[in-house]
Amino acid sequence: MYDKNRPSRPRKAVSSSPDRPERSAKPASQPAAPARTGREQRFSCPVAAHCGGCQLSRMSYAEQLRHKQQVVQELLGGLCPVEEIIGMADPYHYRGKVHAVLSTDKRGIPYSGVYAMGTHRVVPVKNCLIEDKRADRIIQTIVSMLPRYKLRIYNEYTHRGFLRHILVRTANVTGQVMVVLVATGREFPGGKAFVAELVKTHPEITTVVLNVNTRETSMVLGKTETALYGPGYMEDELCGKRFRISPQSFYQVNLRQTEVLYRTAIEYAGLTGGETLLDAYCGTGTIGLCASDHVRKLIGVELNADAVRDAKENARLNGVSNARFFCDDAGRFMVRMAQEGQPLDVLIMDPPRAGSDEKFLSSVLTLRPPKVVYVSCNPETLARDAEYLVQGGYRAVKAVPVDMFPCTEHVETVMLFTRPDA
């Protein structure tokens, strides 16, 4: 029986969201430069203890990699060989998605930073070891402009004020930058002049979006959006394909390492050109579209409607004509595929931290695709789901950890399953 709450082995890695490990803080006055060079250097972030985003910041990068290897080895080593972790050549400033928390000091002057661990007190941060430097600079510019434009920061206790959050996404290959201003209303007094000054100061910004979030929740983004400058989305390239990313769509945060991850998954899939491939939990279709030249037919399924819209647009943008994307719960979709007995050669699945569910996995056992490549951001739920697949007749062939989140305890893993009877 599939028990989604059962951790398969003792817990090692304790995690928040890999999509959003909290920002690692560093006072403005102290440079973020490492003390030594190479993988033995220490990260030495003085406010790591307050921030809590970089749980492994006391370790050198080499130690971090060894630690992550061991975590994955303990969880999956009983099922298959675990290959050597793929680390980053440069493990700094890799986060292409930066979310600034705002506050005001005693004099009412705004600043940005991180929540002190376990509180809603904001520790000032001007630059961070793991965030994209362009994003941090843009956030500082925006914060410094607020008093002149008399833009008030939202107060979560009184529910007054205008600007709630700043979100900056930076593309890796195209260099495009998307700024999302999350505010409490559509009315943006002085908005035109504000945006004009911002893009003049930072010509690298290719779009500015106003996102309206009136809800009293911890969700960062609201549903309503207006493009104040540029097209309202950004474009980037991965594995030679171009991708459109909307403010609400999932896009990997470590883009430099994403190509490595995708290439590993595609290599594990061993595609020969004749296959039907299902990219489940496909987001904006990135993995499947990167593999689309090597398959006969690509099917993508994803729950987030914005991401599916982006996936369809991405297929068009790249002239990919063998792909179809569906907005649905992956489990429900898989059940239907199994009921209809649709042919499936390779399944690549990349579920969120909670892992997959029984609906999905039991249908995998019914459909019996000869190959399953599981891309996971949580080795604990991967181990649980892997055991289910193995009990259902799959062979766990190999796994490899990929370090997508240096300095944090998160680790991505790619794992291959085959059917001995295929």
Catalytic residue positions, numbered: 377
Please choose, out of 34-42, 139-147, 206-214, 297-305, the segment that lies near ligand SAH by the rule CB under 6 A.
Answer: 297-305
Tokens of 309: 């819209």
Shortest reach from residue 335's CB to ligand SAH, in Å: 12
Q: Which of 304, 363, 376, 413 binds ligand SAH (CB under 6 A)?
A: 304
Which residue from 281, 325, 374, 394 is in contact with ligand SAH, where contact means CB under 6 A?
Answer: 281
How far is it, in rounded angstroms, from Cα 336 to Cα 365? Answer: 13
Tell me which stretch binds ligand SAH (CB under 6 A): 25-33, 82-90, 130-138, 347-355: 347-355
Distance CA 96, CA 238 (A): 14
Which is closer to ligand SAH, CB of 103 or CB of 252?
Answer: 252
Beta bridge partners of 89: none
Phi and psi, residue 142, nearest 5°:
-60, -45
CA separation for the pair 308, 145 (Å, rounded): 36
Question: Which residue stretch of 41-49, 106-114, 278-286, 412-420 sits at the interface with ligand SAH (rule: CB under 6 A)?
Answer: 278-286
From the CA atom positions of the chain, what is the Rg in Å?
22
Q: Which of 132, 136, 306, 350 binds ligand SAH (CB under 6 A)?
A: 350
> Which 231-260 residues touch ligand SAH, going by CB under 6 A?
250, 252
Q: How far apart are CA 362 and CA 358, in angstroms?
A: 6
149, two tokens: 């434009």
Rule CB under 6 A: is residue 413 a binding residue for ligand SAH?
A: no
Among 352, 358, 366, 368, binds ligand SAH (CB under 6 A): 352
Residues in the chain: 422
| Nearest residue (CB) to ligand SAH, 211 versus 252 | 252
Strand 97-104 versus strand 110-115 pairing type:
antiparallel
Shortest reach from residue 362's CB to ligand SAH, in Å: 14
Q: Which of 282, 367, 382, 399 binds ligand SAH (CB under 6 A)?
A: 282
What's the min distance (Å) between Cβ of 323 and ligand SAH? 14
**Beta-strand pair 276-280/241-245:** unpaired
246 neighbors 183 (Cβ within 8 angstroms): no
How many Cα atoms sit within 13 Å of 243 on the Cβ side? 30
In the complex, which residues of this chain contact ligand SAH (CB under 6 A)? 250, 252, 281-283, 286-287, 301-304, 307, 329-330, 350-352
